[in-house]
């Protein structure tokens, strides 16, 4: 019975690793199929190894343009949502004011609303106002739905902060601005960074709200959606693989730097 016992002891680990496999399988497929040379217009069946797509990642009309647009929108949406969200988070944690409950629900509701509902109602607003759909309407929408996530991330960090640190700074004759810049902000920074990262990922990858409010402007997710109907170029997989690698490297290097800093302090 040693095998059964071993299995019993490691059941959770095995089940967990299987789930991890389920999560990563599509990424493996995306990577493998970035080296495919499909016969027809669609890249769903394996044919032949080739590095053509990697040598010419922008070889598909309009794809890299849409990628650039998505990056641009994501950067601006991240900046907008992070600034506005951080301000709200500080107000919520640090101050007492009227209508607190209403403010909290207004921030919670966008996260509890199906995207398609927000997308449709926002389009109703834009149509009623006669707004020109495009870059600006997409940016407005992205800041709107990223905002609540930033507030939540920053709030968690600021709440766990020891207010006595700021008192100490003031006791040492730091002015309000100095206290904020040299004590409060550095301590809140990890929360703000987490919120910003989340906002970037959400904005860059958003399809549903963008699809409703983009007019004829095409972001990268919309390009992929369109290609699912017209034919999927291999270059899509190249971009997908590159994005995955960049993300992993980015997070890994962040972690290594963080570890090193902690070790230096200790």
Site for other proteins in 201-260 (CB under 8 A): 201, 204-205, 207-208, 211-212, 220-221, 224-225, 228, 232, 236-237, 239-241, 243-244, 246-248, 251-252, 255
Output the smallest distance, CB 111 to other proteins, in A.
Answer: 8
115 touches other proteins (CB under 8 A): yes
Region from 50-58, 71-79, 169-177, 181-189 binding other proteins, contact rule CB under 8 A = 169-177
Q: Which of 246, 249, 234 is nearest to 55 (CA)?
A: 234
- According to CB under 8 A, which one of 7, 58, 75, 106 is a site residue for other proteins? 106
Q: Which of 7, 15, 165, 185 binds other proteins (CB under 8 A)?
A: 15
133 binds other proteins (CB under 8 A): no
Q: Is 84 in the site for other proteins (CB under 8 A)?
A: yes
| 169 touching other proteins, by CB under 8 A | no
Angle in degrees, 0-180, between the axes of helices 135-159 and 115-129, rounded to the nearest 10: 130
Q: How far is the CB of 177 from other proteins (least distance, A)?
A: 13
Tokens of 17: 């690793």
Residue in 60, 74, 77, 122 binding other proteins, rule: CB under 8 A:
122
CB burial readout 141-176, b (16+ within 10 A) else e? bbbbbbbbbbbbbbbebbeebeeeebeebeeeebee
From 48-56, 57-65, 99-107, 182-190, span contacting other proteins (CB under 8 A): 99-107
User: What are the helix (H) ranges across the chain?
Assistant: 2-9, 11-32, 52-55, 63-94, 100-112, 115-129, 135-159, 163-171, 176-179, 185-205, 208-213, 220-230, 234-265
Whole-number minimum distance, CB 78 to other proteins, in Å?
14
| Residue 97 Cβ vs other proteins, minimum distance, rounded to whole Å | 4
Q: Single out the residue of 216, 220, 214, 244 nearest to residue 60, CA to CA.
A: 220
The DSSP letter of residue 231 is -
Which residues within the stretch 29-68 sit at the binding site for other proteins (CB under 8 A)? 29-30, 33, 44-45
CB of 255 to other proteins, least distance (A): 6
Which of 94, 182, 260, 261 binds other proteins (CB under 8 A)? It is 94
* Separation between Cα atoms, residue 61 and residue 54, nearest integer Å: 15
10 Å CB burial of residue 187 (0-12, 13-18, 19+) is: middle
């Amino acid at each position: 019975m040693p095998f059964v016992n071993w299995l019993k002891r490691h059941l959770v680990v095995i089940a967990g690793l299987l789930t991890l496999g389920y999560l990563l399988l599509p990424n493996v497929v995306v990577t493998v199929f970035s080296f495919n040379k499909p016969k027809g217009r669609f890249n769903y069946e394996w044919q032949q190894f080739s590095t053509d797509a990697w040598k010419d990642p922008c070889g598909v009309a309009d794809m890299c343009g849409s990628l650039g647009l998505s990056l641009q929108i994501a950067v601006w949406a991240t900046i907008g949502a992070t600034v506005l969200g951080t301000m709200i988070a500080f107000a919520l944690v640090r101050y007492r004011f009227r209508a607190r409950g209403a403010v909290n629900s207004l921030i919670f509701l966008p996260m509890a609303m199906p995207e398609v509902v927000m997308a449709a109602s926002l389009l109703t607003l834009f149509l009623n106002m006669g707004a020109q759909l495009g870059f600006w309407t997409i940016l407005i929408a992205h800041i709107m739905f990223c905002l609540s996530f930033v507030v939540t991330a920053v709030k968690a960090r600021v709440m766990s902060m020891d207010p006595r640190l700021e008192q100490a700074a003031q006791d040492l004759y730091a002015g309000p601005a100095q206290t904020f810049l040299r004590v409060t902000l550095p301590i809140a920074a990890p929360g703000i960074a987490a919120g910003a990262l989340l906002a970037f990922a959400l904005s860059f990858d958003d399809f549903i709200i963008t699809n409703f409010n983009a007019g004829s402007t095409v972001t990268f997710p919309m390009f992929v959606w369109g290609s699912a109907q017209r034919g999927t170029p291999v270059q899509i997989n190249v971009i997908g693989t590159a994005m995955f690698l960049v993300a992993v490297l980015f997070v890994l290097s962040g972690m290594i730097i963080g570890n090193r800093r902690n070790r230096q302090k200790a």
